[in-house]
Structure 1
Amino acid sequence: MAAEINQHILLTSRPKGMPTMDNFKFEDIAIPEPQNGQVLLKTLYLSVDPYMRGRMNDTKSYVPPFELNKAISGGVVAEVVQSRSSELEEGDLVIGNLDWALYSVAEDAQVRKIDPDLAPITANLGILGMPGLTAYFGLLDIGNPQQGETVVVSGAAGAVGSAVGQIAKIKGARVVGIAGSEEKISYLKNELGFDAVVNYREAGNIRKALKEACPDGVDVYFDNVGGEISDAALSLLNQNARIPLCGQISLYNLEKADHGPRIQGQLLINSALMKGFIVSNYASHFEEGAKQLGQWLKDGKLKYEENIVEGFDNTIDAFLGLFKGENLGKQLVKVSEPSR
């Protein structure tokens, strides 16, 4: 291949509170050579996700922390530019958990070939990928929304939350979304058909605003954010309510442990279920979930938005933007164009 540069992004120190550029380093490296059974991949798009903030701490979690002075990794759509695999050819487009790098090498079993004719390739990092599957399994398995029930989703304009609300509508539920800007509120109500929306930045008393939006209480609360917003939602639980616990983005950058209402009483008196989950719990059913999401997308029952930041050098800015509420839908970084 023509002489080109390669670069990756390292985590050089563990953030205290909100990460800054000082916690990261861009480093020039050689383009690796694939061995037997491997492919050389050119990064086309990479995903930045809130859960990555947790992996920057040296604490026990559901995935190991990122190692210092090693490349950060995440969801990537890439093009095979050199193959020493019998499974993949040059020009194939794949998705996998890969380093934040311009070029990387992977075993053929580490990546999955994607079909660019089914949907735009970026959809495999969003509605047809981890965010869409997270919404699908968390809502349907734990939340189990029924016709006419009230489903509340926080972080409703994000990649997961917007999918949750739409799937709940498909199942016949009344959907209430919580978001933090008028643009997002308008999108949820006018584009996605949410029944009610609450702007937590403008509401003043979030509990009062949410109670007005949920006159019949809350049957399912899909929790993406934690904090005071979740305190308000949990105060409105109905009997036998279900709470899929997906994320706590409002807490990820706190330097001290958060203290809030103790919720056990609410769960007890309402016979409510709160269950934390991660999407990999459902790995054996990913094909089923992706097939259904793809069908709903094809049928026009699902819509999605992407916020695409151009340029590998803007990756950290795109990541930090997640915690400032800058993204509508899935936050992606476009690194390069496919060769063909």
Structure 2
Amino acid sequence: MSQPAAGPVPPPATHRAVRLAARPSDGTLTTGHFEVVTAPLPAPGPGRLLVRNRLMSVTAAMRPLPRTGLSALGLPRSLPAPEPGELMRGPAVGEVISAPEGGPAPGTLVRHHLGWREYAVVDAAEARPIDGDGLPDPAAQLSQGFPAWLGVVRGAGVRRGDTVFVTGAAGGVGSLAGQFARLHGAERVIGSTGSREKAARLTGELGYDAVVLRHGAGPIEEQLRAAAPDGIDVLVDTVGGEQLQAALALARRKARFAIVGALAAQLSDGLTARTGISTPALIARGVTLRGISGYDHQDAQPDYARAFGRALREGTVVYPHTRLTGIGQAPRALVELIEGRHLGAVLVEL
């Protein structure tokens, strides 16, 4: 006689999560600033989903910083800085375990913002079911392709024949921005990064024509001038600071600058650090300098998803990323990302 089919495996009574143990006192983040804890499995209430997280991402914006530094920016944040003792948060893709009536069926993959834990209770309205016909790999749901695409398409309006400079080209945004720029007709794409190894990968794997180095190769402006002797038409900037200043020095008439990130400030202790800009140069050359954020362009999400999904399926864009396995590797993932050890996005598989 055949045995009856086994029913669904019940969720465990406890799960693991990562909380902030302390803020860095000297600005240097280590894995010791985090603690992996075991906690009772959260119980979903009305209108909430229980989700088993499968993948989560880490980004430089998750680096613990004082709330005063964040509030000074005056910007909305989906990832507010945790206080010591609080759980970390971040984008994640997970599988629905249970849902209220009318909610997504168990087994549905959803994206949400309660990563850094094995299980999460998520408001049904805030969990976005993943369209299996959109992006071909669920990991791509955690890419930073949206700000990259916005910078290229809406921020700078890259067009055929442009010379484009992408700062932070080996990061989660930059590694895609250069590829999007090429798809939109850029004739020459130049990136910046921190090591010769990454520079070789940018030119060998991601279609960059030239790369300037942040360290050990001379001033950024001199390197950029050698790479773009006739100047640049577009800047997609994820860094700011010296690299933004160098781009302005090489800006052609009617150049368009899209500012999509501020790594130079995020990786320091002063998020409000200022960059010196020559306003006469902006005026004389008619340069457009535009800060662009996904918060203001949610209407573009469907167009982006279609374009990104199509490019991934056709192989005209690749999604560079590194995966570490296990919730216990999440602190290491963030530390290594900040130290610049990886190219592209950094994900943790749970």
In structure 2, the residue matched to 1:100 is 116
Alignment of 1:1-340 (within 5 A): 1-16=10-25, 17-53=27-63, 57-58=67-68, 59-60=70-71, 61=73, 62-64=75-77, 65-68=80-83, 69-116=85-132, 118-126=135-143, 131-173=144-186, 174-255=188-269, 258=273, 261-335=276-350
Paired residue type of 1:294:
G
Shift of 1:124: 0.8
Shift of 1:104: 0.9
Query: SS of 1:267's equivalent?
Result: helix
Shift of 1:259: 5.8
Shift of 1:308: 0.9
Structure 2 stretches of 5 or more lacking a match? 1-9
In structure 1, the residue matched to 2:4 is none
CA contact 1:152–1:220 (8 Å) conserved in 2 = yes
CA contact 1:71–1:99 (8 Å) conserved in 2 = no
Q: Distance in 2 between matches of 1:120 and 1:312?
A: 21
Q: % of aligned pairs identical?
A: 32
Q: Distance in 1 between matches of 2:278 and 2:339?
A: 27
Single out whichever of 12-21 and 311-320 deviates more from structure 2: 12-21
Q: Distance in 1 between matches of 2:31 and 2:253?
A: 46
CA contact 1:132–1:159 (8 Å) conserved in 2 = yes
Shift of 1:191: 1.8
Could you say what the CA RMSD is over the residues aligned between the two structures, in angstroms?
A: 2.1
Q: Distance in 2 between matches of 1:38 and 1:255?
A: 37
Shift of 1:281: 1.3
Shift of 1:28: 2.2
Paired residue type of 1:34:
P
Query: SS of 2:323's equivalent?
Result: strand
Single out whichever of 249-258 and 105-114 deviates more from structure 2: 249-258
Query: SS of 1:78's equivalent?
Result: strand
Paired residue type of 1:71:
L
Shift of 1:255: 3.5
Shift of 1:141: 0.9
Change in 2 beyond 3 A, CA 1:269/1:111: same
1:46-78 CA deviation, whole Å, 9 max, x = no partner? 110112237653331323532413222110011
Query: SS of 1:172's equivalent?
Result: coil
Q: Distance in 1 between matches of 2:209 and 2:176?
A: 15
Q: Distance in 2 between matches of 1:252 and 1:232?
A: 19
CA contact 2:64–2:82 (8 Å) conserved in 1 = no
TM-score by length of 2: 0.87
Larger radius of gyration: 2
Single out whichever of 241-250 and 183-192 deviates more from structure 2: 183-192
Shift of 1:41: 0.8
Query: SS of 2:114's equivalent?
Result: strand
Single out whichever of 1-10 and 211-220 deviates more from structure 2: 1-10
1:308-339 CA deviation, whole Å, 9 max, x = no partner? 1122111111112222111111111111xxxx
Q: Distance in 2 between matches of 1:135 and 1:21?
A: 29
Paired residue type of 1:74:
G
Q: Distance in 2 between matches of 1:89 and 1:43?
A: 16
Shift of 1:294: 0.9
